[in-house]
Amino acid sequence: MKNFRMIHDENLCIGCQACSVSCRSENSVPDNLYRVQVQIKTSGTFPALKMDFRRQSCVMCDDPPCVDVCPTGASFQTVDGLTLINSDLCVSCKYCMVACPYDARFVNPVTDAVDKCTFCFTNRVSQGIETACVTVCPTDALVFGDMNDKTSKVYKKAKEKFLLYPKAEKGTKPRVAFVPNKKGVNHE
């Protein structure tokens, strides 16, 4: 069994949106919708401006509230603990969207089913290929892998860096963590 994790290092991210673009292309995400986005927060006054970058997507909770509320079983966890959606079973009731504290789900107008980040599980990770977002990151701000593999990049980064988990107080136990920027932007 794998223990997939992703880490976003906010100190390395330049806000280029390559991860978002590659995700949209890899997963045929319709226009104006996103499985992953990098949000930009600007602070300071010109000319001393600072930009902070925060990745937003499904965080693949170990205790996902979206699965608990799904009346059809469309939202489910794999044996490896990833939270996925079976679009054939989804009735687009949006209960999972309301239950998600990360605002990470949307209704795909093409499939009329709820959609979200899947860590590229079906089309890449299950075949041993790295996620689309990680492969295109020009600064290595994103790291993905199996925490059970002590030689993996994600394991090594988790051991050497201080990590924070988004909305940890919700008790969902996210599998996506971030290395906070040096100034410590609030992640609400």
pLDDT, tens digit (0-9, with 9 covering 90-100), for 80-95: 999 999 999 999 999 9
Residue 145: inside a domain: yes
Whether the CB-CB separation of 160 and 9 falls below 8 Å is answered with no
pLDDT computed for residue 33 by the predictor = 95
pLDDT tens by residue, 96-154: 999 999 999 999 999 999 999 999 999 999 999 999 999 999 999 999 999 999 999 99
User: Between the CA of residue 92 and those of 27, 118, 122, what are the distances in Å?
Assistant: 19, 18, 21
Residue 52: inside a domain: yes
Residue 184: inside a domain: no
* This prediction's pTM: 0.90
pLDDT computed for residue 185 by the predictor = 44
Average confidence (pLDDT) over 54-67: 96
How far is residue 89's CA from residue 67's CA, in Å, rounded to a whole number?
A: 13
Give the pLDDT band of residue 183 (cuts 50, 70, 90).
Answer: low
Which CATH number goes with the domain that contains 19?
A: 3.30.70.20
DSSP letter string, 95-119: HHHHH-TT---EEETTTTEEE---T
Q: How many domains does the chain have?
A: 1
Question: Does the pLDDT of residue 188 top 80, yes or no?
Answer: no
Average pLDDT of the residues of the chain: 93
Residue 185: inside a domain: no
Residue 187: inside a domain: no
In DSSP terms, 39 is beta-bridged to 54
Residue 119: inside a domain: yes
pLDDT computed for residue 78 by the predictor = 95
Domain that holds residue 109: 4-179
pLDDT computed for residue 49 by the predictor = 86
Residue 163: inside a domain: yes
How far is residue 27's CA from residue 84's CA, in Å, rounded to a whole number?
A: 14
Residue 188: inside a domain: no
Which of 45-54, 143-152, 173-182 is predicted least confidently? 45-54
